[in-house]
């Protein structure tokens, strides 16, 4: 049987390929056990951005900074994960240089801080 | 499969058309359980539920077309078997 | 299909079976200018084998003449109620104006889906060569169009008095959370004919629509909304037939060829999970949005999915089918779903076309009673914190964009069941790119058809690509303001909290509850 449906051999449309972000890329950041921020956030960043700028400039302008425990974060003791793998960021290196590519998912863990009234929120 | 006791149900709008239908269902299905919710009546039965035209006609005292149940039926569950005389909902196992 | 039927009318009244045979199968014919497989060219694509279409039978044996008769009667009843509703200012008799926000969600999320269902069944009726199946699909196509029209008519009375109901078609195309139901239907309508009918008639109608219509419409009645109960039950009276179509369809396909079962199970696994994810919105309506509550999401899931679905799969096990993959997870998540979904809308109410509000003490007592295992422990502290902030005039709005699931398009708001405050996240690499998911179910669906889901239109990403600007309008430079205008959400009117909204001010005025003096004329 010969049909129109079988003739399609065009490559699929990858709507979120990095080229569509005009030189920028996506970086997702989640804060474990702080569900007041209802989902990890999506940031538009330059691959040349230094990691320190994410902490110093981008996150303070994000939902994270509105969490009551934000001022208590001890940044020296934050545990970082890249998706599920432990990750050691370098503040002065760029995202690209430390493998944080398009659509990387970064998680921070603050074991001393357990969310609103210790509820994980 | 699952340990669920298989239940069929029929849900009808609460109105005057369905009163004799619900009564007929109760009369012909002694195991049926009737739940009255806002605007709706849900009738549950283990495995099988039968609606007989003759019972509805007896309650109404006049002819009744079984297919007119389509006007007031909200939902159902189970295999459907319908003729002019009865509508059966059932699970085979 | 035979063109000769010996069962000719003899003058006496036909039995239901005779009439059905004459007016369905008796109307079928084989093509002669073109071979049948060319006329029905999508049938072989999915690997489903059908040997005898005549085995298809509608158990209601509804023929077109009876169909028109009953549908006309339903319409007469409905429009009589709508007249009465308008003439008696029925919108003033609802329990509370907060209730109307459930209608906003229904009208922008579900009504356009009914229209897509109409399109889908019109196409399906064309694709099935069996007249029994074709006629059932044709009736359903007309039903779905009727649902769209009656919903627009019913809700137009509310649109005269409340905000957020003015532009449901554009909102459905563009508004971020509506991409969840929209993508569900577009996924279905771009599938093969058997997948379409399993997706909509079986997985959605049979397994899941009871969750939308039964508790929600009963809830509408309980909250004094006569118009919605009436269109809801008028629609739902068609659903009983649609559900029966779904069950007959699945039995027919399974009985036709033993090889069909594996394909059908794959469709069931996929469409159960796709449908379940859309129902997150319904869970929030039941638990957080109905001022007078009928039943909790957890109770509704227990009755309509666990009990009813369990009975169904007991029955279908004779064909070798099992419950859909990950159904146990949906039961565990019933303790959390509405709380997590509501929190997402509390976070992003600046970008929604309906209002949110904090649960009252009474609401929270109800939630604690219905969710004894989770509410006080995980969700009450968050709400109390929000309440404290609001009292201080520091209402928390999430200013960021959320990470979305590539398959169901929901933000990653769900958590791990063994650690209920940690975000549930899955990812996989495909063709050099990374894709993220809210669950194993969504990841599996992507992995089965990656070429389909790599093209997903994810609202957060579209905003960041600069594509969410109203055509013809000048960009404001603020992506949030641009996106709101692109969604056709009027800032300060349709969005934000119910408290302080024009809806609230109007309601208090109409009900004579307004304590503030009228503002001086400008």
Q: What would the pLDDT profile of C61-105 be if each residue is shown by its tens digit?
A: 888 899 999 999 999 999 999 999 999 999 999 999 999 999 999
pLDDT under 70 in chain A at which residues?
A: 1-8
Please tell me the distance in Å from C413's CA to the nearest CA on chain A: 5
Q: Where are the beta strands (DSSP E) in A1-121?
A: 25-31, 41-45, 79-82, 85-87, 104-109
pLDDT at C227: 86
- Using a 10 angstrom Cβ sphere, with 0-12 exposed, 13-18 middle and 19 or more buried, the burial of residue C422 is middle
CA C260-C265-C270 angle, to 5 degrees, is 130
Nearest to C464 among A5, A13, A21 (CB): A21
Q: Searching chain C, which residue's CA lies closest to the CA of residue B12?
A: C237
Q: Searching chain B, which residue's CA lies closest to the CA of residue C233?
A: B74
What is the average per-residue pLDDT within C400-408? 98
Rounded-to-integer distance, Cα C365 and Cα C361, Å: 6
Q: How far, in Å, are A54, A106, A111, C228, C462 from residue A29 at the CA level?
A: 10, 5, 17, 42, 18
CA B1 to chain centroid, in Å, comes to 26
- Taking CB atoms and an 8 Å limit, are A120 and C379 in contact across chains? no
- Interface check for A83 against chain C (CB to CB < 8 A): the answer is yes
**pLDDT for residue C267 is more than 70:** yes
Q: Which chains does C contact via 3+ CB–CB distances below 8 A?
A: A, B
**Looking at chain A from residue 48 to 77, which residues have their Cβ under 8 Å from any Cβ of chain C?**
61-63, 66, 68
- Taking CB atoms and an 8 Å limit, are B37 and C218 in contact across chains? yes
Q: What would the pLDDT profile of C276-302 be if each residue is shown by its tens digit?
A: 999 999 999 999 999 999 999 999 999
Q: What would the pLDDT profile of C173-212 be if each residue is shown by its tens digit?
A: 999 999 999 999 999 999 999 999 999 998 888 888 888 8
**pLDDT for residue C446 is more than 90:** yes
- Interface check for A89 against chain C (CB to CB < 8 A): the answer is no
Nearest to B92 among C240, C313, C315 (CB): C315
Contact residues, chain C, for B82 at CB < 8 Å = 16, 59-61
Nearest to C378 among A21, A39, A119 (CB): A119
**Phi and psi at residue C315, in whole multiples of 5°?**
-65, -45
Please tell me the distance in Å from C18's CA to the nearest CA on chain B: 11
- Taking CB atoms and an 8 Å limit, are A61 and C412 in contact across chains? no
CA B39 to chain centroid, in Å, comes to 16
According to CATH, the topology of domain B7-90 is: Phenol Hydroxylase P2 Protein (3.90.56)
Please tell me the distance in Å from B61's CA to the nearest CA on chain C: 22
The DSSP-derived string for C218-250 is HHHHHTT-HHHHHHHHHHHHHHHHHHHHHHHHH
Contact residues, chain A, for C384 at CB < 8 Å = 117
**pLDDT for residue C7 is more than 60:** no
Q: What would the pLDDT profile of B37-72 be if each residue is shown by its tens digit?
A: 888 999 999 999 999 999 999 999 999 999 999 999
Nearest to C402 among A39, A117, A120 (CB): A39
The answer to whether the beta carbons of residues C340 and B35 sit under 8 Å apart is no
SS3 (DSSP) at C205: helix
Q: Verify C-A touch: 3 or more CB pairs within 8 A.
A: yes
- Interface check for A6 against chain C (CB to CB < 8 A): the answer is yes
- Taking CB atoms and an 8 Å limit, are C313 and B2 in contact across chains? yes
Q: Which chains does A contact via 3+ CB–CB distances below 8 A?
A: C
- Interface check for A20 against chain C (CB to CB < 8 A): the answer is yes
pLDDT at C61: 85
pLDDT at C205: 87
SS3 (DSSP) at C430: strand
Residues of B in CB contact (< 8 Å) with C are: 1-2, 4-9, 11, 13, 37-40, 42, 67-68, 70-84, 91-93
pLDDT at C10: 56
Nearest to C59 among B37, B39, B82 (CB): B82
Q: Which of C327-332's residues contact partners 24+ apart within 8 Å by CB, and which partners?
A: C327/C272, C329/C417, C329/C439, C329/C440, C329/C441, C330/C276, C330/C301, C330/C305, C331/C301, C331/C302, C331/C305, C331/C306, C332/C417
The answer to whether the beta carbons of residues A91 and A52 sit under 8 Å apart is yes
The ipTM assigned to this model is: 0.94
SS3 (DSSP) at B49: strand
Domains of chain C in sequence order:
64-335 (1.10.620.20)
What is the average per-residue pLDDT within C1-25? 71
Mutation site, B33, B75, B84, B93, interface C, largest C CB count within 10 A: B75
What is the average per-residue pLDDT within C369-386? 97
pLDDT at C511: 93
The DSSP-derived string for C60-117 is T---HHHHHHHHHHHHHHHHHHHHHHHHTTGGGGSS-GGGHHHHHHHHHHTHHHHHHH
């Amino acid at each position: 049987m010969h049909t129109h449906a079988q003739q399609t051999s065009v490559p699929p449309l990858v709507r979120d390929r990095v080229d569509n972000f005009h030189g920028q890329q996506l970086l997702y950041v989640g804060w474990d056990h702080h569900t007041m921020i209802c989902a990890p956030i999506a940031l538009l960043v330059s691959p040349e951005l230094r990691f320190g700028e994410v902490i110093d400039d981008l996150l303070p302008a994000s939902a994270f900074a509105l969490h009551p425990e934000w001022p208590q974060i001890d940044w020296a003791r934050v545990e970082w994960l890249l998706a599920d793998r432990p990750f050691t960021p370098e503040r002065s290196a760029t995202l690209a240089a430390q493998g944080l590519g398009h659509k990387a998912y970064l998680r921070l863990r603050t074991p001393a801080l357990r969310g609103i009234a210790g509820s994980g929120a | 499969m699952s340990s669920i006791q298989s239940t069929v149900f029929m849900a009808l709008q609460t109105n005057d058309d369905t009163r004799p239908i619900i009564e007929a269902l109760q009369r012909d299905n002694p195991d049926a359980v009737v739940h009255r919710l806002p605007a709706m009546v849900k009738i549950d039965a283990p495995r099988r539920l039968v609606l007989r035209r003759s019972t509805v006609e007896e309650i109404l005292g006049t002819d009744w077309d079984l297919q007119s149940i389509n006007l007031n039926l909200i939902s159902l569950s189970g295999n459907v078997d319908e003729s002019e005389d009865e509508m059966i909902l059932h699970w085979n196992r | 299909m035979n063109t000769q039927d010996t069962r000719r009318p003899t003058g006496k009244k036909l039995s239901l079976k005779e009439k059905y045979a004459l007016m369905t199968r008796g109307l079928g014919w084989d093509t002669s200018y073109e071979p049948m497989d060319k006329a029905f060219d999508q049938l072989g694509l999915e690997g489903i084998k059908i040997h005898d279409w005549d085995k298809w039978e509608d158990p209601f044996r509804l023929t077109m003449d009876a169909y028109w008769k009953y549908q006309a009667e339903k319409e007469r009843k409905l429009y009589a109620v709508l007249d009465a509703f308008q003439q008696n200012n029925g919108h003033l008799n609802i329990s509370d104006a907060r209730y109307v926000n459930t209608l906003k969600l229904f009208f922008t999320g579900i009504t356009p889906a009914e229209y897509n269902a109409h399109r889908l069944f019109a196409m399906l009726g064309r694709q099935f060569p069996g007249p029994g199946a074709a006629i059932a699909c044709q009736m359903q196509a007309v039903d779905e169009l009727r649902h769209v029209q009656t919903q627009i008519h019913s809700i137009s009375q509310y649109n005269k008095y409340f905000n957020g109901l003015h532009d449901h078609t554009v909102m459905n195309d563009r508004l971020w959370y509506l991409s969840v139901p929209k993508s569900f239907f577009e996924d279905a309508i771009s599938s093969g004919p058997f997948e379409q009918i399993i997706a909509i008639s079986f997985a959605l109608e049979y397994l899941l629509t009871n969750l939308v219509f039964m508790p929600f419409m009963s809830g509408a009645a309980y909250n004094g909304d006569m118009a919605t109960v009436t269109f809801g039950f008028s629609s739902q009276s068609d659903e009983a037939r649609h559900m029966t179509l779904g069950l007959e369809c699945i039995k027919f396909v399974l009985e036709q060829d033993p090889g069909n079962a594996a394909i059908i199970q794959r469709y069931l696994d996929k469409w159960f999970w796709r449908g379940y994810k859309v129902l997150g919105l319904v869970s929030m309506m039941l638990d957080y949005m109905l001022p007078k509550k009928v039943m909790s999401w957890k109770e509704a899931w227990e009755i309509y999915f666990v009990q009813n679905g369990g009975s169904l799969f007991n029955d279908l096990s004779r064909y070798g089918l099992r419950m859909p993959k990950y159904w146990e997870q949906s039961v565990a998540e019933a303790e959390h779903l509405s709380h997590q979904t509501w929190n997402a809308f509390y976070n992003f109410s600046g970008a929604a076309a309906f209002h949110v509000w904090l649960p009252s003490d009474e609401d929270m007592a109800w939630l604690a009673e219905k969710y004894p295992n989770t509410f006080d422990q995980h969700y009450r502290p968050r709400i109390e914190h929000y309440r404290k902030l609001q009292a201080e005039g520091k209402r928390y709005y999430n200013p960021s964009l959320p990470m979305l699931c590539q398959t169901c398009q929901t933000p990653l708001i769900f958590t791990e069941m063994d650690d209920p405050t940690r975000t549930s996240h899955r990812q996989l690499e495909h063709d050099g790119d990374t894709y993220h998911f809210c669950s194993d179910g969504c990841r599996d669906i992507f992995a089965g058809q990656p070429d389909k889901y790599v093209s997903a239109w994810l609202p957060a990403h579209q905003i960041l690509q600069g594509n969410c600007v109203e055509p013809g309008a000048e960009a404001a430079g603020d992506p949030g303001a641009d996106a709101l205008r692109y969604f056709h959400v009027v800032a300060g009117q349709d969005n934000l909290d119910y408290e302080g909204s024009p809806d609230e001010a109007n309601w208090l005025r109409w009900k004579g509850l307004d304590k503030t003096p009228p503002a001086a004329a400008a």
